[in-house]
Amino acid sequence: MPSSAPLRLCWKSSLTDADLQRLGITEAEKQESLDDINTEVSFYCGMLYFLVQIFKGDEEFADELSE
């Protein structure tokens, strides 16, 4: 899934039941979209953790992160 997926799918998280019915989106489709978002965010958090651990002692990298 492209990295813009959370931006495309996050609007579904705020839909009410009436909105879902009006738009023809099932609760299962809404949940699947939210699961996709959670998966992608978890993936990027994992990558960020890995990078931070690699460069933990690098002062220049720490300065870049704090900017």
> What are the tens digits of pLDDT across the range 13-23?
677 778 778 88
**Is the per-residue pLDDT at 42 higher than 90?**
yes
So what's the pLDDT on residue 61?
Answer: 75
Residue 19 CB contacts under 8 Å (≥ 6 apart), including other chains: 25
pLDDT for residue 10: 58
pLDDT at 50 over 60: yes
Decide if pLDDT at 49 tops 50: yes
pLDDT of residue 56: 81
Inform me whether the pLDDT recorded for 43 exceeds 90: yes
24: left (phi over 0), alpha (psi -120 to 50) or beta: left
